[in-house]
Amino acid sequence: MPVGASHFQGLSAGLDPSSFIEKGLSMRFITPLIATILLSLIPAGCTSASREGLPPGSPFQAEVVIKPETLPQGIAVGDVTGHSAALWTRTDGPAMVHIEWAPASAWDAAEKMGTVVWPLLRTNRVTTTAESDFTATIPLSGLVPRTHYRYHVLVGPVAVPHEHIDAVLAARGEFMTLPDEGTSVPVTFAWSGDLGGQQRCRVGADGYPIFDVLRRQPLDFFLFLGDTIYSDDVCPAPPNEPGADFKATTLDQYRARHRYQRGSLPLRRFLASVPVYVTWDDHEVKNNFAGPYEAQMPAGRQALREYWPIASPSDDPQRLYRTVRYGADMELFILDDRQYRSRNSDPDGQEKTMLGKEQLRWLLQGLRHSQATWKVIATSVPLSIPKGGGATVPGNDGWAGGPDGTGFEYERQLIVDTILTQHLKNVVFLAGDVHYVQASAYDPNGDGVPDFHEFVAGPLSAAPGRMSPPTLALNATNLIQEGGYYNFGLVRVSSSAFDVTVLDDKGAVRFSHHLSAK
Give the per-residue pLDDT at 110: 74
Q: Which residues contact 296 (CB under 8 A, 6 or more apart)?
A: 249, 285, 286, 289
Give the per-residue pLDDT at 115: 54
Give the per-residue pLDDT at 114: 62
- Interatomic CA distance for residues 480 and 151, integer angstroms: 42
How far, in Å, are 151, 181, 260, 427, 501 from residue 367 at the CA level?
35, 15, 38, 9, 25
Describe the strand order of the beta sheet including 374-378 as a list of residue ranges: 322-326, 330-334, 374-378, 427-431, 452-456, 437-442, 476-482
Give the per-residue pLDDT at 26: 35
Give the per-residue pLDDT at 118: 53
Phi, psi of 412 (to 5 degrees): -60, -40
CA atoms within 13 A on the CB side of 148: 9
Q: In the chain, which stretches have pLDDT less than 70?
A: 1-64, 114-119, 160-165
Give the per-residue pLDDT at 472: 86
The alpha carbons of the chain give a radius of gyration, in whole angstroms, of 24
How far, in Å, are 11, 62, 143, 325, 341 from residue 26 at the CA level?
8, 30, 7, 22, 41
Helix, strand, coil distribution of the chain in percent, nearest 5: 20, 25, 55
Measured CA angle at 155 (ends 73, 299), to 5 deg: 45
Give the per-residue pLDDT at 408: 98
Give the per-residue pLDDT at 61: 43
- Interatomic CA distance for residues 274 and 214, integer angstroms: 9
Q: What is the pTM of this model?
A: 0.89
Nearest to 119, CA basis, from 176, 41, 8 = 41
Q: Is 139 exposed, middle or buried (0-12, 13-18, 19+ CB in 10 A)?
A: buried
Give the per-residue pLDDT at 382: 97
Is the distance from CB of 228 to CB of 261 less than 8 angstroms? yes
Measured CA angle at 20 (ends 79, 15), to 5 deg: 125
